[in-house]
Structure 1
Amino acid sequence: MLNYIFRRILYAIPILVGVNLITFALFFVVNTPDDMARMQLGIKYVTPEAIEKWKIERGYNKPLFYNSEQEALRKLTDTIFFEKSVTMFAFDFGRAEDGRDITQEIKSRMLPSFAIALPVFVLGLIAYIAFALMMVFFRATYIDFWGVVLCVAIMSISSLFYIITGQFLISKLWHLVPISGYEDGLDGGKFLLLPIVIGIVSSAGSNIRWYRTIFLEEMNKEYVRTARAKGLSERLVLFKHVLKNAMIPILTGVIVVVPLLFLGSLLVESFFGIPGLGSYTIDAINSQDFAIVRAMVFLGSVLYIIGLVLTDISYTLVDPRIRLS
Structure 2
Amino acid sequence: MIGYIGRRLLYGIAILLGVNFITFILFFAVNTPDDMARLSIGGQRVSVDAIEKWKAERGYDKPLLINIEQSGAAQLTDTIFYQRSVPLLRFDFGLSDAGLDIGHEIRTRMGPSLALAIPSFVLGILASVSFSLLLVFFRTTRLDFWGVVLCVVMLSISSLFYIIAGQWLFAKVLRLVPYSGFIGGFGMVKFLALPILVAIISRLGPEARFYRSLFLEEIGKDYVRTARAKGLSERAVLFGHVLRNALLPILTSTVAALPLLFMGSLIAESFFGIPGLGSYTIDAINAQDFSVVRAMVFLGSTLYIVGLILADVSYTLADPRVRFE
How would you bin the TM-score normalised by the shorter chain?
Answer: over 0.9
Q: Give secondary structure in 1 for the equivalent of 2:179.
A: coil
Letter in 2 for 1:24: F
State TM-score, norm by structure 2: 0.95
Residue deviations 1:104-153, cap 9 Å, x none? Answer: 00100000000000000001111111111111111111111111111112
Secondary structure at the residue paired with 2:197? helix
After TM superposition, the structure 1 stretch with the greater mean CA deviation from structure 2, 239-248 or 182-191, is: 239-248
Contact 2:260/2:307 (<8 A) preserved: no
* Ranges in structure 2 where 5+ consecutive residues have no aligned partner: none
List aligned pairs for 1:290-301, cutoff 5 A.
290-301=290-301
Alignment of 1:117-136 (within 5 A): 117-136=117-136
Aligned pairs (5 A) from 1:1-325: 1-43=1-43, 45-255=45-255, 257-325=257-325
CA displacement 1:254-278 (0-9 Å, x = unmatched): 2453344111111111111111111
Q: Map Cα deviations across residues 234-268 of structure 1 (whole Å, 9 max, x no partner).
A: 22222222212212211222245334411111111
Most deviating of 134-143 and 247-256: 247-256
Q: CA deviation at 1:170?
A: 1.1
**Offset at residue 43 of structure 1 (A):** 2.1
CA distance in 2, matches of 1:306, 1:260: 9
2: distance between equivalents of 1:320 and 1:259? 24
Distance in 1, matches of 2:8 and 2:130, equals 32
1:34 positional shift = 2.0
8 Å contact from structure 1 (residues 8, 312) kept in 2? no
Give the whole-Å Cα distance in 2 for the aligned partners of 1:220 and 1:230: 16
| Counterparts of 1:162 and 1:88, CA distance in 2 | 36
Structure 1 CA distance for aligned equivalents of residues 104 and 323 of structure 2: 39
Distance apart, 1:2 and its partner CA:
2.5
- Contact 1:136 / 1:144 at 8 angstroms: preserved in 2? yes
Change in Cα spacing, 1:256 to 1:295, as seen in structure 2 (3 Å) is same
**Residues 307 and 256 (structure 1), Cα distance of their counterparts in 2 relative to 1, 3 Å cut:** closer
Q: Distance in 2 between matches of 1:97 and 1:134?
A: 52
Opposite residue 90 of structure 1, the aligned amino acid is R
Measure, in 2, the Cα distance between the counterparts of 1:13 and 1:113: 26
Contact 2:256 2:311 in 1 (8 A): no
More displaced, 173-182 or 219-228?
Answer: 219-228
Quote how far apart the aligned CAs of 1:4 are.
2.9
DSSP 3-state at the match of 2:314: helix
Which structure 1 residue ranges, 5 or more long, are not aligned? none
SS class of match (2:258): helix
Shift of 1:71: 3.3
Amino acid at match of 2:279: S
Separation in structure 2 between the aligned mates of residue 321 and residue 8 of structure 1, nearest angstrom: 20
Question: SS of the residue aligned with 1:324?
Answer: coil
TM-score (norm 1): 0.95
Once residues 217 and 18 of structure 1 are traced to their aligned partners in structure 2, the CA distance between those partners, rounded to angstroms, is 39
Distance in structure 2 (CA, Å) of the matches to 1:60 and 1:195: 39
